Amino acid sequence: MRVIIRLVMASVFLLTLNACEDPEDRTLINNRGFVYCGQGQPNTFNPQLTDGGLTAEVLSNQLFDRLLQLDPDSHKPVSMLAKAWTVSEDGKRYVFKLRQNVHFHTTAWFSPTREMTSEDVVFSFRRLIDPENAYSGISGGQYPWFNSLDFSGLVESVDAVDKYTVAFTLSRPDVSFLATLSTPYAVIHSAEYATLLVKNNQQDRIDHYPVGTGPFYLEQYKPNELIRLKRHWDYWNGAAPMEQVVFDISSRGTGRLAKLITHECDVLSAPIASQLSVIEGDKKFVLSSQTGMNVAFLALNTRHPALSELEVRQAINYAINRSALLKSVYYGTGNAATGMLPPMSWAYDTTAKTPYDPQLAMALMAKGGYRNGFEVNLLVPTLAKPYNPSPRKTAELIQADLKEIGVKVNIVSQEEINRQSLRDDPAGHDMVLTGWIADNGDPDNFLRPLLSCNAKFTGWNMSNWCNRYFDRFLDAAISTSDIAERKTDYFKAQQILRDRLPVIPLAHGVYFQARQADLKGFSLTPYGDNSFANVSRGGR
C-alpha cells in the first residue's frame, strides 16, 4: 500500500514538503525521526515572551534547558543545568553551581566559541528584571508569565560569583522560587549570541532564531506548514536517538486523527475525547494518558455592569451543569472542578462542593437586579486543550444553561485567546472560556498568575479582579516552608475565590497522547509534554 508522506524526515534536507512513496524510503525516515502533530502557530521561539501555546508547552523543552527541572515522580525541583544549590537561612539568597561542558547549539546563524557559563544565566534573567538591559524592550518587552508573578519585584539581582556559580538575591522569601526556575519559561539563552546581535543591531533575532542548549536545535520554520528540529550532537546529557523532529502545524487537508491513521503524523498531541475509542481500538497505536494539573474555567469580567454584581456571578455558577459538561465534552474522562486547584494538588480543598441549582440561580439573578436577564459576549478559543477537549461544545452547553436563567450568550470564536489584547482593552470582553496548565506542582502556580492583583495589570487576570486579602494569603503561603501553614493559607485564598467568584471553575481534564506503536521513550507529566531527548523507534 502506497503511503503519502507530507512531512519528509529523511536525510534529504528539502525546503518544501514532499511525498515519499517507496516503503524502503519510509523505513529509512522512520529510523531517523518522527512527525509530531500539534496545534497552534508560534509567533516567537522564546518562551519568556509567551503566555503558553506551542512554544512554551512543547518547543521549549526541545530547544532550551533550565537551571532546574521537575522530577517526574515527586514533581519537586531537581538538577538540570545547575548541579547543586544552596539557600540562605533567611530564604533570600539562592546560589547555584553550574554544570561544566554544556554546549550551545551551532546553527546556520550562530556558531558558539565557548561553553555555557554563569554569564549566560545572568543574561537570561537580567533581561527580565532590568529595564536598562539592552534586551529589555526587544520584541515588545513583555514577559507575561514572569510579570504575573512580579518576578522583577521579587529578584533584586542576578550575579556571577565565578565562572560556574550564580547567585540570585530576592527582595523577600519565596519558597516557590525553585519551582519557578523549573518551568519551561525559565530558559537559558546564549549571552555570546546576544552580544553579537547587539553589535549587528539585530537583537530581535534572539527570539526568532533561537540558540539554546536543549537536545534539539531549530533548523527550519515554515509558517502554517512545519517546524523542523535537528539533533544537538553535543547535548550535555547525551545526543538524542532521533535525528530530527518535524512539527506539522498545517491546517490544510485532512484532520489530525486522519493524519495519524495514514501515517502522515507519528504523534498526535491531545486528541479530542470522541476520538479516543478509535485510537484505542487499533493496535498500531499507543494511547497514553496522564491526569493533568490543569483547569478549565470561565473568566467573568468584573467591569461588566451585570457581572460586577456578586449575586449574578453566583447565579452563573449555580446555573452551569458540570455533570452534563463532563458527559458531553470529556466523555467521562475529566473531573468536575470545585475550585481552581485540581485534586492531585496538595492544597486541594476536599470540603468544596460543585454547585448546580437552576432555581437558586434564578433567585440570585433577581436579587442582583437582573430578573429580566442581560446579554453578554463569550470569547471562545477554537483549539482543543487538555483542560478542554472541545471549547465550542463547552460554550454551547454554557450558552444553553445560562439561557434558562435569562442570560443571552453570544459566542465569539477566536483561534486562541490573546491576553495582550484583553489587557489593552479591559472592557472589551464580557466572559472568556479559557483554562490553565500548571508549569509546576506548587499551588501558587495556579493562583498568582491568573488571579492576583499583579496579574490583573499584566493581562493574565482576565476577570479584571483584584482582592488584597487574597494576595496577602498567597504572599503568606510562599513566605514559609511549613506545609501545614501553607495549606491553611491556600485554603483561605480558595475560600475567597468561592465567596467572590471572579472565575467559574468548570473541569479538570486528562492529558492524552496518541502515537505509532513503534515509537518508544515518551513520558507524560501532569504539566504536558516533556523532552523528546529519549524518544527512539523500534521495529514494526
Percent of residues, the chain, with pLDDT higher than 90 = 70
Whether the pLDDT of residue 192 is over 90: the answer is: yes
Set of cell numbers at residue 533:
531527548
Stretch 112-134: mean pLDDT, rounded? 97
Say which range, 363-377, 460-474, 524-538, has the weakest mean pLDDT: 524-538
- Are the C-beta atoms of residues 185 and 47 closer than 8 Å to each other? yes
d(CA 25, CA 131): 52
Measured CA to CA in angstroms, residue 300 lies from 317, 324, 450, 469, 496 at distances of 11, 21, 12, 20, 15
Q: Name the amino acid, one letter, at 356.
A: Y
Give residue limits of the domains in the chain.
1-37+215-291+510-540, 63-211, 294-508
Percent of residues, the chain, with pLDDT higher than 70 = 91
Class of the CATH-defined domain 1-37+215-291+510-540? alpha beta
Stretch 455-484: mean pLDDT, rounded? 91
Whether the pLDDT of residue 7 is over 80: the answer is: no
Stretch 278-293: mean pLDDT, rounded? 87
The full length of the chain comes to 540
Strands (E), 89-162: 93-98, 155-162
pLDDT of residue 427: 64
d(CA 161, CA 94): 12
The CATH superfamily assigned to 63-211 is: Dipeptide-binding Protein; Domain 1 (3.90.76.10)
pLDDT in tens, 75-122: 889 999 999 999 999 999 999 999 999 999 999 999 999 999 999 999
At 30, the pLDDT band (50, 70, 90 cuts) reads low
Report the relative pairing of strands 374-381 and 431-437 from DSSP bridges. Answer: parallel
- Are the C-beta atoms of residues 399 and 409 closer than 8 Å to each other? yes
pLDDT of residue 22: 45
Of 113, 100, 524, 540, the C-alpha closest to 289 is 524
Residue 491: exposed, middle, or buried by beta-carbon count in 10 A (0-12, 13-18, 19+)? Answer: middle
Stretch 214-235: mean pLDDT, rounded? 96
pLDDT in tens, 514-533: 999 999 998 888 776 688 99
At 19, the pLDDT band (50, 70, 90 cuts) reads very low
pTM: 0.86
d(CA 227, CA 58): 12
The CATH superfamily assigned to 294-508 is: Dipeptide-binding Protein; Domain 3 (3.10.105.10)
Report the relative pairing of strands 216-222 and 68-70 from DSSP bridges. Answer: unpaired
Buried b (16+ CB within 10 A) or exposed e, 333-347: bbbbbbbbbbeebeb
Range list of H helices, 330-426: 358-367, 391-403, 419-424
